């Protein structure tokens, strides 16, 4: 699997406290040729984000210690990480969760259950949009 | 006036003893005198002076013709002796005989004539010559000329003088009688006149034309006016005459001897109207002809008085009628009063009472002795009550309670009596009016009032208790509401958690199954793939159920928000068709869409309507093995409601199951759930959603004949 992950392949930070889900997505994303970093709570997510500067963060909202909303707010308020797209991923389907997520600064919102293929699709869409949007800004 | 016919005089003037001049003197003397004694005296004196008569006397028959009375004498004794008279009835008297003797003179000796005459002639013989008229027609004895000496009676002068005197006396006699009757007549006339003048009523004699012949002064006032009197008065008189004669002429038609009329006249002096009663009598006199005697009686005052009396009588009658009406009204009023009313005179006798009072103070016909006793007792109590009015004070009113009993039944009637004095103009008590008010009801009311107060008190207590209980309950409810609120919040939290807790493991199940099926962990055998596919489909079914339960829970918890916007129904249906296209294609059914051109956008919650239509269309496709499905959207003309109907030619639903299919986890046949898939919650959710939108879902279907499900949405937006 690691063989397939090249240096220029996108680095995705997966934040989820439930290991089965986190590792499932990680396995599928790696299988799909992406690099993956993992965090099981908000603090770890912040540490990883500052240290690795991933291309995209998939953030579960219900997290121990520091929840996804708080972590997203911090990421979006920090100049080093504010450009990283954050896709919220939550098992909460009730109204208000997506709204809260957007307010916290999430760029996308996915409700569980979400098949690994569907997540990959969303990630690719977000990355394409990021490249298109960033190109003029970076002057590339 | 006496006169002697000239021819006779001349014939008597023959030359004689006394000269003509002396005779002329006597004639002249007799001519100027109308007095018989004077004439007689002149004659006897003339005889004494001119005819050699020594003594003479004239005895004349008196006016009544009953006696012979001495009226003159000459040369006789006992002058003026009134005894010298002879009763003419005494026919044996020589002088009476001499009176009727044919010969001119008779001589009497003194012995023959007794009484005063003899004495007068001093018992000498004297001659008696009858004095008489020459008119044979009216010859009757007038008197006697007695003279002495007897021889002188033969002398021419004596005879002449006797003849002249007789003539004169006869003349005087007859004229004296005439004058008497004339005087009498005049006296009677005057008397009559004063009598008719004394009569206060106007009396008149008129001819038949009404011309006045005789009238008394009253009548003259009405019917006569002199030229010098005022114009008004003359006119009034003329008017009166006209009225009078017209009354007479009217009377003439009645052909009666006498009649009676009312005659209106005018008072000429005062001008006032007068009314007379006219009584007229026809009098017929052979010499005077026919006349009418009218007596007028003034009935002006009488008429006025009559009219006044009639007017007064009329007024009295009116007043009487009014009083009677008043009395009747009063009776009605008094009788209509339910309280007994008694009017008594000052001595306490009942003069008037109404029907309720009669029940207390009278014994009906055939009343028992008991009743009579009760009435007597009532009377006694009543009288003592009345006496209080007079003794208990000087006021006009007195009120107090009287213990009366019902005369008929003997039931005690506690009564309040209010008595009032009715005073006359002079302040005397005319009557006493007493109104008796039955206190039974008042006492009953009092008792009821007390009961009511008691009950009210109890009620108040109960209300207080109830209020306390209510506030306790309120507090409880408040607490319960609070708890419910908390429970609701907890429920919401629970739902959120459940959703999360269900999804998280399901996510892993579906994810790993997905990865295995996609060969992430290497190739699968056909058996492994088949089994993993079963895990996948059941996992997906579980997810669908969880989603539906969540929807229902959210609706029930009021956590399903409405997002109302203008929804264009045709576009929405097109969208549904596009989403369902893969399934439609797979079903192989002919699906048609019919849209009403009159459809407009409706304000509602778009996703929810879409969810319903998707569900209905899904069901139709699911339960239709072959045939067609038709979607129709229209707007009702009646009330503008939007109806979206989905009709299929599928298996249909028995009428008995039409309600069942809307219940949770129900399909018409539970075995079908497995056969046809689905959670069995779709219609249940649809009905709830439709209700949230203010609409409804109805079904028309029969087993084996297909179904039509219709969603009806109101025009007004749901609240």
Nearest CB partner across the interface for B550, out of A20, A24, A93: A93
Q: Which residue has the higher pLDDT, B340 or A99?
A: B340
B649 to A134, B620, B654, B669: CA distances (angstroms): 56, 8, 14, 18
**What confidence tier does B700 reach under pLDDT thresholds 50, 70, 90?**
very high
| Contact at CB, B504 and A114, closer than 8 angstroms | no
- What the block records as the tokens of A82 is 């504010």
Q: How far is CA A78 from the centre of its chain?
A: 16
Q: Are B670 and B589 in contact (CB under 8 A)?
A: no
Taking domain B561-713, whether its CATH number is 3.30.565.10 is answered by yes
Domains B6-182 and B199-298 share a fold: yes
**What confidence tier does B13 reach under pLDDT thresholds 50, 70, 90?**
very low
CA proximity to A61, closest of A88, A30, A39: A88
pLDDT of residue B668: 53
pLDDT of residue B16: 47
| Contact at CB, A93 and B508, closer than 8 angstroms | no
The arithmetic mean of pLDDT across residues B23-45, rounded, is 84
Least confident of B198-207, B367-376, B491-500: B491-500
Q: Read off the pLDDT of residues B363-375 as tens digits, 9 standing for 90 and up.
A: 877 778 888 888 8
Least confident of B411-415, B614-618, B619-623: B411-415
Q: Which residue has the higher pLDDT, B220 or A35?
A: A35
In a domain, A32, yes or no: yes
Tell me the residue length of chain A. Answer: 140
In a domain, A127, yes or no: no
pLDDT higher than 50, residue B153: yes
Q: What is the DSSP string of B319-346?
A: HHHHHHHHHHHHHHHHHH-SS-EEEE-T
- Greatest mean pLDDT among A97-101, B119-123, B662-666, B695-699: B695-699
Which chain B residues are within 8 Å of A98, Cβ to Cβ?
Answer: none
Judged on CB neighbours under 10 Å (0-12, 13-18, 19+), B180 is exposed
| Contact at CB, A117 and B518, closer than 8 angstroms | yes
How many A-B residue pairs are in contact by the CB < 8 A criterion? Answer: 66
Q: Which residue has the higher pLDDT, B152 or A136?
A: B152
- What the block records as the tokens of B361 is 């103070």
CA proximity to B569, closest of B475, B658, B502, B633: B633
- Greatest mean pLDDT among B170-179, B280-289, B396-405, B646-655: B646-655
**Cα Rg for chain A, rounded, in angstroms?**
14
Q: Which residue has the higher pLDDT, B600 or B63?
A: B600
Q: How far apart are CA B705 and CA B253, in angstroms?
A: 127
Q: Are B643 and B636 in contact (CB under 8 A)?
A: yes
- What the block records as the tokens of B323 is 């009083």
Answer yes or no: is the ipTM higher than 0.90: no
| Contact at CB, A21 and B514, closer than 8 angstroms | no
Q: Are B433 and B426 in contact (CB under 8 A)?
A: no
Which CATH number fits the domain that encloses residue A20?
A: 3.40.50.2300
**What confidence tier does B15 reach under pLDDT thresholds 50, 70, 90?**
very low
Please state the domain count of chain A: 1
> Residue ranges of the alpha helices (H) in A9-112?
19-31, 42-52, 68-77, 97-104
Q: How far apart are CA B290 and CA B284, in angstroms?
A: 4
| Contact at CB, B500 and A91, closer than 8 angstroms | yes
Q: How many CB atoms lie within 10 A of CB B591?
A: 21
pLDDT of residue B84: 63
- What the block records as the tokens of B479 is 């607490």
**Chain B residues with CB-CB distance to A under 8 A?**
495-496, 499-508, 510-512, 514-515, 518, 520, 543, 547, 550, 554, 559, 561
**What confidence tier does B7 reach under pLDDT thresholds 50, 70, 90?**
very low
Judged on CB neighbours under 10 Å (0-12, 13-18, 19+), B571 is exposed
| Contact at CB, A91 and B499, closer than 8 angstroms | yes
Q: How far is CA B458 from the centre of its chain?
A: 59
**What confidence tier does A58 reach under pLDDT thresholds 50, 70, 90?**
very high
In a domain, A124, yes or no: no
For chain B, what are the domain ranges? Answer: 6-182, 199-298, 561-713
Which chain A residues are within 8 Å of B501, Cβ to Cβ?
Answer: 91
**Chain A residues with CB-CB distance to B under 8 A?**
18, 20-21, 24-25, 27-28, 31, 62, 90-95, 111-117
pLDDT of residue B119: 64
The arithmetic mean of pLDDT across residues B10-38, rounded, is 71
In a domain, A132, yes or no: no
Q: Read off the pLDDT of residues B98-115 as tens digits, 9 standing for 90 and up.
A: 777 655 556 665 555 555
Nearby residues of B95 by Cβ (< 8 Å), 6 or more positions away:
B59, B68, B86, B108, B113, B117, B128, B144
Nearby residues of B542 by Cβ (< 8 Å), 6 or more positions away:
B506
Least confident of A35-39, B159-163, B485-489: B485-489
Q: Which residue has the higher pLDDT, A97 or B381?
A: B381
Q: SS3 of B387, please?
A: helix
Which chain B residues are within 8 Å of A117, Cβ to Cβ?
Answer: 514, 518
Q: How far apart are CA B665 and CA B653, in angstroms?
A: 16
pLDDT of residue A49: 92
pLDDT of residue B9: 42
Q: What values do phi and psi take at B104, rounded to 5?
A: -70, -30
Share of chain B above pLDDT 90, in %: 8
Q: Which fold has domain B6-182?
A: Beta-Lactamase (3.30.450)
Which chain B residues are within 8 Å of A95, Cβ to Cβ?
Answer: 559, 561
- What the block records as the tokens of B504 is 């998280």
In a domain, A16, yes or no: yes
The arithmetic mean of pLDDT across residues B528-544, rounded, is 88
Which chain A residues are within 8 Å of B502, Cβ to Cβ?
Answer: 91
**What confidence tier does B704 reach under pLDDT thresholds 50, 70, 90?**
confident
Q: How far apart are CA B474 and CA B485, in angstroms?
A: 16
pLDDT higher than 90, residue B630: yes
Q: Are B583 and B623 in contact (CB under 8 A)?
A: no
Q: By residue range, what is the domain housing residue A61?
A: 2-115
- Greatest mean pLDDT among B422-431, B490-499, B554-563, B682-691: B682-691
Q: How far apart are CA B192 and CA B186, in angstroms?
A: 10
Residue B489 pairs in a beta bridge with none
- Greatest mean pLDDT among A6-15, A49-58, B88-97, B210-219: A49-58
Least confident of B136-140, B183-187, B192-196, B332-336: B136-140
pLDDT of residue B414: 82
At the second CATH level, the architecture of B199-298 is 2-Layer Sandwich (3.30)
pLDDT higher than 50, residue A135: no
| Contact at CB, B506 and A113, closer than 8 angstroms | yes
Q: Are B367 and B455 in contact (CB under 8 A)?
A: no
pLDDT of residue A51: 92
Q: Looking at the complex, report in whole angstroms how far the Cα of residue B642 sits from the nearest Cα belonging to chain A.
A: 29
Q: Please provide the average confidence, as pLDDT, over all residues in chain B.
A: 81
Q: What beta strand segments (E) does B512-667 contain?
A: 564-567, 590-595, 602-605, 628-635, 642-648
pLDDT of residue B249: 79
pLDDT of residue B400: 84
The arithmetic mean of pLDDT across residues B659-685, rounded, is 68
């Amino acid at each position: 699997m690691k063989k397939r992950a090249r240096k220029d392949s996108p680095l995705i930070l997966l934040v989820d406290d439930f290991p089965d889900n986190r590792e499932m997505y990680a396995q599928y994303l790696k299988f799909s040729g992406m690099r993956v970093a993992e965090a099981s709570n908000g603090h770890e997510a912040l540490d990883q984000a500052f240290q690795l500067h991933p291309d995209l963060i998939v953030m579960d909202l219900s997290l121990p210690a520091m929840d996804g909303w708080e972590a997203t707010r911090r990421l979006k308020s920090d100049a080093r990480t504010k450009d990283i797209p954050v896709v919220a991923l939550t098992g909460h389907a009730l109204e208000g969760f997506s709204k809260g997520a957007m307010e916290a600064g999430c760029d996308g919102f996915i409700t569980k259950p979400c098949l690994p293929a569907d997540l990959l699709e969303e990630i690719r869409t977000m990355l394409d949009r990021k490249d298109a949007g960033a190109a003029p800004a970076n002057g590339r | 006036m006496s006169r002697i016919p000239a021819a006779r005089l001349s014939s008597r003037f023959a030359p004689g003893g006394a000269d003509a001049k002396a005779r002329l003197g006597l004639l002249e003397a007799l001519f100027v005198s109308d007095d018989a004694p004077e004439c007689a005296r002149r004659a006897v004196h003339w005889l004494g002076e001119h005819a050699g008569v020594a003594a003479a006397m004239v005895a004349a028959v008196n006016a009544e013709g009953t006696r012979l009375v001495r009226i003159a004498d000459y040369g006789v004794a006992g002058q003026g002796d009134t005894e010298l008279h002879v009763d003419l009835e005494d026919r044996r008297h020589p002088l009476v005989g001499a009176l009727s003797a044919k010969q001119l003179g008779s001589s009497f000796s003194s012995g023959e004539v007794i009484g005063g005459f003899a004495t007068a002639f001093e018992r000498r013989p004297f001659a008696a010559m009858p004095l008489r008229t020459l008119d044979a027609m009216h010859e009757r004895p007038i008197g006697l000329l007695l003279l002495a000496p007897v021889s002188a009676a033969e002398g021419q002068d004596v005879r002449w003088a006797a003849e002249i005197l007789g003539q004169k006396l006869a003349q005087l006699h007859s004229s004296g009688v005439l004058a008497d009757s004339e005087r009498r007549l005049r006296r009677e006339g005057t008397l009559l006149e004063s009598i008719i003048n004394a009569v206060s009523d106007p009396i008149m004699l008129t001819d038949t034309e009404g011309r006045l012949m005789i009238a008394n002064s009253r009548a003259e006032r009405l019917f006569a006016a002199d030229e010098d009197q005022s114009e008004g008065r003359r006119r009034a008189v003329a008017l009166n005459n006209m009225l009078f004669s017209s009354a007479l002429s009217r009377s003439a038609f009645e052909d009666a001897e006498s009649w009676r009329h009312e005659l209106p006249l005018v008072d000429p002096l005062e001008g006032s109207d007068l009314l007379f009663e006219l009584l007229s009598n026809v009098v017929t006199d052979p010499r005077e002809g026919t006349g009418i005697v009218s007596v007028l009686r003034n009935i002006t005052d009488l008429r006025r008085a009559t009219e006044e009396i009639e007017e007064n009588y009329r007024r009295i009658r009116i007043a009487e009628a009014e009083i009677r009406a008043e009395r009747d009204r009063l009776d009605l009023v008094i009788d209509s009063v339910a309280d007994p009313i008694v009017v008594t005179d000052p001595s306490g006798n009942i003069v008037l009472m109404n029907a309720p009072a009669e029940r207390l103070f009278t014994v009906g016909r055939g009343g028992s002795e008991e009743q009579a006793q009760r009435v007597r007792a009532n009377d006694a109590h009543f009288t003592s009550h009345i006496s209080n009015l007079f003794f208990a004070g000087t006021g006009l009113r007195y009120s107090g309670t009287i213990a009366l009993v019902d005369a008929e039944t003997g039931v005690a009637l506690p009564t309040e009596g209010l008595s009032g004095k009715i005073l006359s103009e002079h302040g005397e008590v005319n009557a006493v009016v007493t109104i008796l008010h039955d206190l039974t009801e008042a006492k009953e009311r009092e008792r009821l009032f007390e009961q009511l107060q008691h009950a009210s008190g109890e009620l108040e207590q109960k209300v207080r208790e109830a209020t306390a209980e209510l506030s306790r309950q309120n507090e409880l409810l408040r607490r319960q509401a609070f708890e419910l609120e908390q429970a609701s919040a907890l429920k919401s939290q629970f739902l959120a958690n459940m959703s999360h807790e269900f999804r998280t493991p399901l996510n892993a199940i579906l994810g790993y199954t997905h990865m295995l099926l996609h060969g992430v962990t290497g190739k699968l055998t056909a058996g492994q793939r088949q089994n993993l596919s079963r895990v996948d489909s059941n996992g997906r079914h579980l997810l669908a159920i969880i989603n539906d339960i969540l929807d229902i829970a959210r609706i029930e918890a009021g956590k399903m928000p409405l997002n109302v916007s203008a929804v264009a129904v045709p576009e929405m249906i097109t969208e549904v068709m596009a989403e369902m296209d893969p399934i439609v294609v797979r079903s192989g059914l002919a699906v048609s869409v019919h849209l009403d051109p009159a459809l407009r956008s409706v304000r509602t919650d778009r996703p929810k309507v879409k969810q319903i239509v998707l569900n209905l269309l899904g069901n139709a496709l699911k339960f239709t093995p072959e045939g067609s499905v038709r979607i129709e959207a229209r707007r009702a003309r009646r009330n503008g409601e939007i109806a979206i109907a989905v009709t299929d030619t599928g298996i249909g639903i028995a009428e008995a199951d039409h309600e069942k299919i809307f219940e949770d986890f129900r399909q018409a046949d539970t075995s079908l759930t497995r056969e046809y898939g689905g959670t069995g919650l779709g219609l249940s959710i649809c009905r709830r959603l439709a209700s949230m939108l203010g609409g409804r879902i109805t079904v028309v279907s029969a087993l084996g004949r297909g179904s039509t499900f219709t969603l009806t949405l109101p025009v007004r937006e749901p609240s």
